[in-house]
Each structure stands twice: as C-alpha cells, then as structure tokens.
Amino acid sequence: MADFYPYLLSSLPTLQFGMKPPFSFEQFLEACHRFIPEKDYQILRTLPQPEHYSEQGRRHHFIEEWIRFDTTLRNELVKVRAGRRHIEAGRYLRPDTYPGPSPAPVVIAATMSPSLLEGERVLDETRWKTLDELAKAHYFDLDALITYAYKLQILHRWERIRSADAALLLREALAPGVE
C-alpha cells in the first residue's frame, strides 16, 4: 500500500484529553491498514505497553523515546511509593535514560492529590502533553500516527474508568475470601 499519511491523518478526528474516544482502537488500526505500508502497520499494531517495555527487539525511534519517558515517570512513582512505605525502591526500578526534564514534580503533585483518580488524571495529562512534545514537527508521518495511537489508548483507559460499575467493584473488594 502506498504512503497516504497526509490523507489518513487529516481524516482522523482531533483528540482532546478527556473526550470520549471517537472509535475503537481496532477501528483505528483497520483505517490505518488501508493507507500505510505493511511494515508501519505492524509497528502500530504491536505498540509496546508498559508491561512489555523491557522486552528486547528493534523498535521505532519514536517509540523508544516514549518508552524512555514513560519508564522515567513510572520510576518516579516507584520512588515516591517506596518512600512512603519505607522500603528500598532500587529493586523495583527499570533502567531509563530519558534526556528531558524530570517528571518528579508532577509525580509528587499526583501522589499528593486527595483523590486517586485525580492523581491518575494528572499523570495521564502529563503523558498526553509529552506525546505532543515528542511529536512536534511530525504532522503527516508514522510518528504522528504513533502519537495518535497512544493518545487513543489513553482515552480508552479513561472511558473504561468512567463506565466502571463502582458499586460492583466495591462489593467485589469487600467480599469475604478476597485477598
């Protein structure tokens, strides 16, 4: 398939943090598959998630930058949480080499929030803004699509949070025999 990035990206709706996702991630991938080369489609289809960041393999440079940032953010969370529990954080940290500004102040602000949900919102807004920063000067290329894909995943995460049955979750958490 030819590279139709300008057409594809200009046809996608603009994403804003906090909005309802305009379509599923699968629908996004389906739309991309028709307009981008197969090798680029495979990169989009297999975007690494946090639980797979440490897996070896050749990745795209933009994804590597994103992983470095997100790992640094997660390491800062580990340090704050370990400090609160008075345990050594070192064994829980993952190697990171993010060259940008430290996300420590954002993590501290998020963890000091009286609401866990609001703290998560602060962290995801920071992720969103960092994706914008990483994608500067990338308007009609694979990096722009990767940015769109990660943002769409953030929106889907918040949609799952909004649609969760709070009463059911509380009953499950308080049920006898639950560890």
Q: How many CB atoms lie within 10 A of CB 5?
A: 21
Full residue range of the structural domain in which residue 149 is found: 1-11+20-46+140-179
Write b or e for each residue in 69-86: b if 16 or more Cβ atoms lie within 10 A of its Cβ, otherwise e.
bbbbbbbbbbbbebeeee
pLDDT digits (tens, 9 = 90+) for 98-146: 898 999 999 999 999 999 999 999 999 999 999 999 999 999 999 999 9
Asked if residue 175 and residue 123 are part of one domain, the reply reads no
Asked if residue 144 and residue 83 are part of one domain, the reply reads no
Q: What is the pLDDT of residue 56?
A: 62
Asked if residue 130 and residue 58 are part of one domain, the reply reads yes
Asked if residue 129 and residue 56 are part of one domain, the reply reads yes
- Looking from the CA of 97 toward its CB, the CA atoms found within 13 Å total 3
Asked if residue 77 and residue 59 are part of one domain, the reply reads yes
Residue 121 tokens, joined:
């919102």
Q: What is the pLDDT of residue 17?
A: 98
Asked if residue 170 and residue 123 are part of one domain, the reply reads no
pTM (2 decimals)?
Answer: 0.88
In which element (H, E) is residue 1 found?
Answer: none
Q: Residue 97: which of 77, 129, 69, 74 has the closest Cα? A: 69
What separation, in Å, do the N-terminal and C-terminal C-alpha atoms of the chain show?
51
Asked if residue 2 and residue 26 are part of one domain, the reply reads yes
Asked if residue 91 and residue 61 are part of one domain, the reply reads yes
Determine the longest span between alpha carbons in the chain, in angstroms: 58
Residue 4 tokens, joined:
């139709």
Asked if residue 124 and residue 158 are part of one domain, the reply reads no
Asked if residue 159 and residue 103 are part of one domain, the reply reads no
Give the number of residues written for the chain.
179
Number of domains forming the structure of the chain: 2
pLDDT above 60 for 83: yes
Runs of H (alpha helix) within 86-115: 104-112
Asked if residue 88 and residue 72 are part of one domain, the reply reads yes
pLDDT digits (tens, 9 = 90+) for 25-45: 999 999 999 999 999 999 999
Identify the band that residue 175 occupies on the pLDDT scale cut at 50, 70 and 90.
confident
Distance, in Å, from the CA atom of 106 to the CA atom of 72, rounded to the nearest integer, reads 12
In which element (H, E) is residue 131 found?
Answer: helix 116-134
Asked if residue 120 and residue 78 are part of one domain, the reply reads yes
